[in-house]
Structure 1
Amino acid sequence: MTDSQQAAPALKEIFNRARLQHIADETAAVYPAFDVRAFMQHASQDLDALSVMQRLNRVSQSLHAGLPADYPQALEILQQLAPRLNSGFVSMILPEYVALYGQADFERSMHALKFFTAFGSSEFAVRHFLRLDFKRALKLMQGWSKDPDEHVRRLASEGSRPRLPWSFRLENLMLDPSPVLPILSNLNADDSLYVRKSVANHLNDITKDNPDWVLDLIEGWSLEDPRTAWIARHALRSLIKKGDRRALAIMGAGAAPDVLVNELSVTPQAVRLGDRLSLSFRLTSTSSASQRLIIDYAIHYVKKSGGTSAKVFKLKTLTLAPGESVIVSREQQIRNFTTRVHYAGKHELDILINGECLARSWFDLSE
């Protein structure tokens, strides 16, 4: 097996035994009564069988077993521990602790989540408090959206996403996203790219259930601000990949493309896992006016069942002058991911211009 075919270490290994020892030692450094041995025994039990989120949860439970039963006192210790942990992702054990053991102390716990988010993220934990008391939690999060700290502002958006990956869905916001409008409006021209990415992902979430709500919202924004335009472009990516005309129009590419696609080349057409696939074609304007073009490509991946499932990839966005001709190219490595496993067979590849399929080729993936 080549290096390109080898899978990266599983994410769950971020909570390996060495990392557990680090957590235990640092906790003991700020709370000398902490039983390191008992923590290690509890946290590492059946470790290999646990997913990354199950390990995160287990570590928080193991901390609880060794910390004072008094919740405010335990929080003080965890706040001292936070800057000593050597991984932002690992620091998420601290807001997880709050979610598990702090729901009866709402205000104190929400304040703790605001504090802990700067060390990793409290995005998963805060959702438990939204589910516990939606209006109360959301009111606090609206205040967070104006906080000077970018981590806190991001938490206001990320924590209230209706479809946050690796977390439970907020069904009420999937039905009606309007309660989060003040948060999104406060952040629609944020200086921080970290925050803008969250807002874009949040809006992209909403397009899965309420596309017209998002389109209405963004159509009312001024996209002259490059920060807002960036959010809009990334928020509408799923709709654009589907060829949604309103989304394309917002991005200035709503007209049907008046172009020719020639010299389409997909090489090699016989591919093995780990190979790099090269895509190239000539795009020529047949219009008498300049055109804004959003160019994507879709690969119809073969599934285990033998059917196919298309995934759209961004290629580029450009303005093509009348009669202008350009070469568009891209390379992509064909390798497995935790979210996508490849299967042998003929994979069709589409060239999409402003949402329309204007050319098609293929490659054959062997075992």
Structure 2
Amino acid sequence: MPEPFKNLINAHTVHHAGLHLHRVWPALDRQRFEQHAAQGLDGLEFKARAMQLADALQATLPADFAEAAHVIEASLAEPLALDAAGEPTALSEAQSQAGLSGWVVWSLGEYVARRGMSDVPRALACLHALTQRFSAEFAIRPFIQQHPDQTLAVLQRWVHDPSAHVRRLVSEGSRPRLPWGLRLHALVANPAPTLPLLRALQDDPSAYVRRSVANHLNDIAKDHPDLVAQWVREHQQAANTQRTALLRHASRSLIKQGHAPTLQAWGLGLGLQGEATLSLSTDHARVGEDVGLHVTLRSTAPQPQPLVVDYAVHHVRANGSTSAKVFKGWKLTLEPHAGRTLDKRHSLRPVTTRQLYPGLHQIDLRINGQTCASARFELLA
């Protein structure tokens, strides 16, 4: 059985933090810090562990924020190296022992967010260092919320930073709906302030940065789908392979939803010209099993058809109603007057983000955003 995720912050993390903070600032009451950070740790979930470690930092680091920021920066390991594609690599054991890096940096960033609001330039400089050892994407969000003009001006400079970690923070930290992060309601309502940042970063040499830009645009698409469709149309012009992949990833939710302007931007505005059938491997299945999907396509068109074939499962809720979730299927070109068969297994194993309830489940076959066929099965307890 895999190790619980929450154990990424553990007693060793606390001991390691105390060791390096005391190394660079001998006045630290290390025993008090470690006792505070480790108290009842086994009974806490992951985020609560990170916040308790931040509480311990707040109780024991210097009262002067600038001095505390210096202690934090001095305690850090070397920045995470990047591979040829600009993706972060893991620290070696020797590098890890030399200073702080990894998940403990979440707590260090939380401390900076709590204590640094009265000195934004010094706080952001500290986050600049922290994000090169893990990510400061959660910590920078309160600064964007409370000091938007000042913080966004710094982010505008950071789009040219030599570190891909810092450039990624520009995009990831300002995402309107970052998972686990503080929701930036002003940017949810109006994403215009971050668009110049994304424009500057969408052709970044690092895949790590470009993926964040795509996810940021996908966030915006949840509230402003037409804006993202227009972005795709505008930036497809003279796009290289990397930018095209970014725009496709940014469009993924809108394509699955069948958003007409986005489908048109990708040449998918037409529905299937022909016939489609969907059959299932069984008419009943139990939680923990899977269901086979068998799709048959037949073209009646005299020209090739680019198709995105997805499927939506109408899950039964606890109250008996249903809620549809779209799953990725296939991308293909259907040749003139040709046929294709497609097969896939759909898992019915429980996941942490979705509870499965017994009842009649419908599966819709969606081709270029349009429902073309349906089938049903009974989910048994």
Q: TM-score, normalised by structure 2?
A: 0.87
Q: Match for 2:107: what amino acid? A: I
Alignment-derived partner of residue 69 in structure 1? 63
Alignment-derived partner of residue 23 in structure 1? 17
Alignment-derived partner of residue 53 in structure 1? 47
Alignment-derived partner of residue 43 in structure 1? 37
* 1:301 maps onto 2:315 in alignment: yes
Alignment-derived partner of residue 161 in structure 1? 175
For 1:17 and 1:234, how far apart are their aligned partners in 2?
39
Give the drift of 1:33. 3.9
Q: Match for 1:164: what amino acid? A: L
For 1:86 and 1:265, how far apart are their aligned partners in 2?
54
- Helix, strand or coil at the partner of 1:121: coil
For 2:317 and 2:101, how far apart are their aligned partners in 1?
36
* 1:182 maps onto 2:196 in alignment: yes
For 1:341 and 1:87, how far apart are their aligned partners in 2?
35
**Structure 1 pair 86–135 and aligned structure 2 pair: CA distance change class (3 A):** closer
RMSD: 2.1
Equivalent residue for 1:249, pick from 264, 276, 291? 264
**Structure 1 pair 86–326 and aligned structure 2 pair: CA distance change class (3 A):** farther
Instruction: Give CA-to-partner distance per residue, 1:15-65, whole Å, 9 cap, x none.
Output: 233433333334334444433432232123344554422321221121232
For 1:268 and 1:91, how far apart are their aligned partners in 2?
49
**Structure 1 pair 24–306 and aligned structure 2 pair: CA distance change class (3 A):** farther
Alignment-derived partner of residue 144 in structure 1? 158
Give the drift of 1:82. 2.7
Give the drift of 1:352. 0.6
* 1:239 maps onto 2:233 in alignment: no
Give the drift of 1:333. 2.7
Q: Is the 8 A contact 2:310 2:367 kept in 1?
A: yes
For 1:208 and 1:289, how far apart are their aligned partners in 2?
34
Give the drift of 1:113. 0.8
Note the residue ranges of structure 1 that are not aligned, 5 or more in a row: none
| Equivalent pairs, count | 360
Q: Is the 8 A contact 1:191 1:227 kept in 2?
A: no
Give the drift of 1:138. 0.4
Alignment-derived partner of residue 203 in structure 1? 217
Alignment-derived partner of residue 245 in structure 2? 230
Q: Match for 1:342: what amino acid? A: L
Give the drift of 1:135. 0.9
Alignment-derived partner of residue 5 in structure 2? 11
Give the drift of 1:362. 2.6
For 1:307 and 1:10, how far apart are their aligned partners in 2?
33
Alignment-derived partner of residue 88 in structure 2? none
- Residue correspondence of structure 1 range 206-355 to structure 2 within 5 A: 206-223=220-237, 224-262=239-277, 264-355=278-369
Alignment-derived partner of residue 84 in structure 2? none
Instruction: Give CA-to-partner distance per residue, 1:65-102, whole Å, 9 cap, x none.
Output: 22222322322222233324676333222221210111
When structure 1 is superposed on structure 2, of 326-335 and 99-108 the one drifting more is 326-335
For 2:205 and 2:292, how far apart are their aligned partners in 1?
36
- Helix, strand or coil at the partner of 2:361: strand
- Helix, strand or coil at the partner of 2:138: coil
Q: Match for 1:180: what amino acid? A: T
For 2:66 and 2:17, how far apart are their aligned partners in 1?
20
Q: Is the 8 A contact 2:300 2:336 kept in 1?
A: yes
**Structure 1 pair 277–38 and aligned structure 2 pair: CA distance change class (3 A):** farther
Alignment-derived partner of residue 129 in structure 2? 115
When structure 1 is superposed on structure 2, of 28-37 and 199-208 the one drifting more is 28-37
**Structure 1 pair 297–59 and aligned structure 2 pair: CA distance change class (3 A):** same
- Helix, strand or coil at the partner of 2:235: coil
- Identity rate, percent: 40
Q: Is the 8 A contact 2:128 2:166 kept in 1?
A: yes
Q: Match for 1:352: what amino acid? A: R
For 1:204 and 1:38, how far apart are their aligned partners in 2?
44
- Helix, strand or coil at the partner of 2:371: strand
Over 6 Å off, 4+ runs: none
- Helix, strand or coil at the partner of 1:220: helix
For 2:130 and 2:24, how far apart are their aligned partners in 1?
16
- Helix, strand or coil at the partner of 1:323: coil
**Structure 1 pair 267–80 and aligned structure 2 pair: CA distance change class (3 A):** farther
- Helix, strand or coil at the partner of 1:82: coil
For 1:244 and 1:291, how far apart are their aligned partners in 2?
18
Q: Match for 2:207: what amino acid? A: L
Q: Is the 8 A contact 2:142 2:182 kept in 1?
A: no
Instruction: Give CA-to-partner distance per residue, 1:105-142, whole Å, 9 cap, x none.
Output: 11111111111111111111111111221111101101
